[in-house]
Amino acid sequence: MTQASQQQIEAFFAVAKTLSFSKASEELHLTQSAISHRIKNLEDTLSVSLFIRRPSGVQVTPAGEVLFRYCKVRQGLDEELVRDISAEVSGDLGGHVRVAAYSSVLRSVIMPALSKLMESHDKVVFEFICYNQEKLPDLLHHSKAEFIVMDHRLEEPKVRKDLLGYERMVVIEHKDLESRQDIYIDNSPEDRVTEQFFIAQGDLQKYRRIFFSDCYGIIEGVQRKLGRAVMPAHLLGNLHDVRIVSEFQPYTVGVYLHYYEQAYYSRLHQSVVEELSKNCHDLLS
């Protein structure tokens, strides 16, 4: 990469991070016209538009998102390489890791699976993000998380999909529930867990839905006799007031770890993958 193109990439990255030409000019100590000129030359070289300029602000185009991910990865690799060299001397790991997952696995599986790694390396900072599944891919695409965990494979090129284990989905109800058996509690209107469960049963029965914000709210709704729910069996633990409805067959769902393929993975990145691959299966059982 030539010096000129390197300057163009830096100008692009500064604008993409801040969504502001003025803030980018302050960061790089350049005039806004110089920033605009470098980005225009970069767009001409690539034959794509990288930004949409609107009165309300700057928006990154899909092509710009791809380049922004490259810049984030390159920045991360530079930082990780320095940390890895230091770690080789000190024997310790360090860095910042962001892991995003849906509610039924984040607290009960992902965090416990990484607990020993967190306890053993106090220079590692973990950020755990709980999101609805339909929003998780955006975190990966926009470099807001290095890892996302979903209950299905994200079929995209250059994204690794590691199977961590299986959730066993069952129907639960309060042990004294006598009515409202046609009401099922889901996370949100977009949540298709209940629908997929009954498709797998071959039973397209009619039911009504109500919603709670996460899996623990759903369990509380069942405990309050508000209805039934399709939930992972590993969350039930010692809930003595909740029972599994035996008329339905359990339905297994794969739990997948996703992250971008890279030519080089830091020791910290490798350690996260190893710990999740080693520990999640038992926690999901």
Q: Tell whether the model's pLDDT for residue 213 goes beyond 90.
A: no
- Same domain? For 139 and 174 the reply is no
Tens digits of per-residue pLDDT, 172-199?
999 998 878 899 999 888 888 899 999 9
Taking residues 89-108, what's their average pLDDT?
85
- Same domain? For 239 and 267 the reply is no
CATH of the domain at 32: 1.10.10.10
- Same domain? For 158 and 132 the reply is yes
Tens digits of per-residue pLDDT, 8-26?
988 999 999 889 999 999 9
Sign of CA dihedral 221, 226, 231, 236: positive
- Same domain? For 143 and 90 the reply is yes
Question: Which residue among 46, 66, 86 closes a domain?
Answer: 66
Confidence band of 54 (pLDDT split at 50, 70, 90) = confident
Q: Tell whether the model's pLDDT for residue 73 goes beyond 80.
A: no
Q: Tell whether the model's pLDDT for residue 4 goes beyond 50.
A: no
Q: What are phi and psi of 254, to 5 degrees?
A: -70, 145
- Same domain? For 80 and 118 the reply is yes
- Same domain? For 223 and 258 the reply is no
Domain containing 129 equals: 68-165+254-284
- Same domain? For 83 and 126 the reply is yes
Q: Tell whether the model's pLDDT for residue 143 goes beyond 90.
A: no
- Same domain? For 191 and 161 the reply is no
Mean pLDDT, the chain, as a whole number? 88
Tens digits of per-residue pLDDT, 247-256?
899 999 999 9
Tokens of 277: 């691959």
- Same domain? For 104 and 239 the reply is no
Confidence band of 86 (pLDDT split at 50, 70, 90) = low
Q: pTM surpassing 0.85?
A: no
Q: Tell whether the model's pLDDT for residue 1 goes beyond 60.
A: no
- Same domain? For 21 and 80 the reply is no
- Same domain? For 159 and 61 the reply is no
Taking residues 199-223, what's their average pLDDT?
89
Q: For the chain, give the percent of residues with pLDDT over 70.
A: 93
- Greater confidence, 77 or 53? 53
CB 202 within 8 A of CB 135: no
Sign of CA dihedral 112, 283, 223, 100: positive
Q: For the chain, give the percent of residues with pLDDT over 90.
A: 51
CATH of the domain at 170: 3.40.190.10
- Same domain? For 271 and 145 the reply is yes
Domain count, the chain: 3
